[in-house]
Structure 1
């Protein structure tokens, strides 16, 4: 296959879940197919990473990009047919580069990451089919945010204006895309129920680099005091909300049962309210770390108290592969088909989440059983080569079907 990937980010370094998804998809497909890459370089500065991708992609271009200011509701935004979250990614240079690439090369498929890039390929859909890869379903995610977060009346007004536009744009893209790729069955269910029941959708769960995320790949041992870790991008609303819920309603219950417990908050760009948690006894906020694996090894358990979902959490599959048991909400473990009390401990209420954390910290036999089962599940189901091979097969079937339809 001859493939063109268009990304709204440069997926390096691999410090965000979506970066890992796109990087490993690119690298695995390039082992057997020709892959070209165009990536938007937010705020510039990623040119030094070009050699990483030139090792396995035929042609690579990064486009330095600064987001335009958010438009005011009236008059510009109100009369703009595109959702504001999509229009915020307008990049004329990408239009020029894409037209040049399509005139120069014959591609079997154009693979784009996320809805924000759809406007650039819609006008070329008759030249080459495109596939939409979704790190999350935007409308589903925004509706979850709306329910979980306390927005001001002004924020609610601005968001409400965008929901209808986003729904209409989602329906347009679903009608024109050759296929959409989502992270889990819950995303597929949402698309079929609210966007287009007949749209072609395939599920490609997020995976883990099993050679890199191994407990014996880095030095380190479990810390002596009972330790909980929470990993992720700490400027991301769902992670901020998860920590707010944990510290407001759960942490005191855990401390009452396990007074010596420590909490490690590990991830880049912590928001001010996340940084403030470091003032609490036994709580550490690390900020960006060069390697997350030693922090998994320090912890007795990883908590994932997410209330806003969509996609699948790579922090969970990384934790499983590293042998660190997971306590998660069902939304946090969405799309992974983990078995409660076997692969992980699952809980959704304040009382139950606290109880599962306490169980994991005070019951060594339970912790060891969940650790072993989680590692086995990671090895069996979440290696990137097998996951991407499934996507590759769907692409081959899609291309064959499209070619056959042209000959009829």
Structure 2
């Protein structure tokens, strides 16, 4: 087996949130074909317990502790220049040294880099094949943040957006291939970086449909007689915080007026203070972290995804669909998901449409069942990890074929 260097900005385990789900499945897939040399950061003390699990997929690894508070302070001097704060946040001499030593000592011909921030560790490695998985167009995400914030944060986010886009374009030009989480996300980057359009592609996120399966029988966590709506996700992530606050204040009270049995459960770890405060609202429950979200999905009547800021593919939507649940999603939340509106999921463009869509589904058992079945079928057909990750195999194999032809 050939050696492959794999760099991720966060330890790729456990696969319990968006970036870790993708980075873990990529690690698992690549480890079947390559000897993996993994360089990554651990930014949550609780994640050190998973170090041995991650190392079991690797020939060698370098796990570096990262203190988020210290990293933010360390990145501030970047404001004096035109460098994105993201790069300074993740800059690390120990990891840089390990990468260089690995490339010198080991037979590594390929590197897969997960997220733009990690590309800096391979800036002097043009002799190997380098694939960057940007996942999302992060520069555009910062631009979205800027539109919803007041000064000085809107200025800071606009600056980060502009600086990061310059860096994304530089990396895409220098690396051999650039991938994104969806065809739409790749299309956006092609518009922003036309010079790299010819080597920009995508591979979809997938779902472990054996794990997220409606066939299992889980205990019902909801009150007897309730008609539960559920939102799942990491609740310290600003886009999720914004989504549940909007839903709880602007949408759910109107649903509950029509349907008093309706309850809204916010299921996810590390809820921010504003999310915790939502538990004071009638019918709203904030669970915090749970051992298994599947029981909350299985017994929910509807999964909601009212995101107003979103990039790429929302795993929370795919997981609910895989569990055969009808999903009511915002336009932003369904971007990148190839599903038929009103047949495989429902779409709401504003608060009023959310109220109407959710209420109609709560009253129509047959329609909920029909949409749930179609949703799972869509996931089975289009969001299979093996099928998606075959694109990475093709990029790596094509690189070796091109090298052989040139030699």
Q: TM-score, normalised by structure 1?
A: 0.93
**Does residue 14 of the first structure (1) align with residue 15 of the second (2)?**
yes
The verdict on how the C-alpha distance between 1:378 and 1:221 changes in structure 2, with shifts beyond 3 A counting, is: farther
1:354-374 C-alpha deviation (Å, 9 max, x unpaired): 111112211111101001101
Instruction: Extract unaligned runs of 5+ from structure 1.
Output: none
CA contact (8 A) 1:220 1:297 kept: no
Which residue, out of 147, 152, 175, partners 1:154? 152
CA contact (8 A) 2:9 2:114 kept: yes
In the alignment, the residues of structure 2 paired with residue 340 and residue 15 of structure 1 have an alpha-carbon distance, to the nearest angstrom, of: 27
Match of 2:168 in 1: 170
The verdict on how the C-alpha distance between 1:245 and 1:109 changes in structure 2, with shifts beyond 3 A counting, is: same
In the alignment, the residues of structure 1 paired with residue 154 and residue 54 of structure 2 have an alpha-carbon distance, to the nearest angstrom, of: 41
Match of 1:349 in 2: 350
Match of 1:5 in 2: 6
Match of 1:220 in 2: 219
Report the CA distance between 1:287 and its aligned residue. 0.4
1:263-291 C-alpha deviation (Å, 9 max, x unpaired): 11000110111001101111110001111
Cα RMSD after superposing both structures: 2.0
Where 2:287 maps in the other structure, the secondary structure is strand
More displaced stretch, 304-313 vs 62-71:
62-71
Q: Equivalent residues in 2 for 1:47-86 (5 A)?
A: 47-67=48-68, 68-70=70-72, 76-86=77-87
The verdict on how the C-alpha distance between 1:288 and 1:221 changes in structure 2, with shifts beyond 3 A counting, is: closer
More displaced stretch, 224-233 vs 391-400:
391-400
In the alignment, the residues of structure 2 paired with residue 122 and residue 342 of structure 1 have an alpha-carbon distance, to the nearest angstrom, of: 47
CA contact (8 A) 1:114 1:133 kept: yes
Instruction: Extract unaligned runs of 5+ from structure 2.
Output: none
Match of 1:179 in 2: 177
Q: Equivalent residues in 2 for 1:1-400 (5 A)?
A: 1-44=2-45, 46-67=47-68, 68-70=70-72, 76-124=77-125, 126-147=126-147, 149=148, 151-199=149-197, 200-221=199-220, 224-400=225-401
Where 1:112 maps in the other structure, the secondary structure is strand
Misfit runs of 4+, over 4 Å: 71-74
Report the CA distance between 1:253 and its aligned residue. 2.0
Report the CA distance between 1:159 and its aligned residue. 2.4
In the alignment, the residues of structure 2 paired with residue 309 and residue 327 of structure 1 have an alpha-carbon distance, to the nearest angstrom, of: 15
Aligned length: 402
In the alignment, the residues of structure 2 paired with residue 184 and residue 289 of structure 1 have an alpha-carbon distance, to the nearest angstrom, of: 29
Q: TM-score, normalised by structure 2?
A: 0.93
Q: Which one scores higher on RCO, CA 8 angstroms, separation ≥ 6? A: 1
Where 2:201 maps in the other structure, the secondary structure is strand
The verdict on how the C-alpha distance between 1:163 and 1:155 changes in structure 2, with shifts beyond 3 A counting, is: same
In the alignment, the residues of structure 2 paired with residue 98 and residue 271 of structure 1 have an alpha-carbon distance, to the nearest angstrom, of: 36
Where 1:153 maps in the other structure, the secondary structure is coil
CA contact (8 A) 2:74 2:88 kept: no
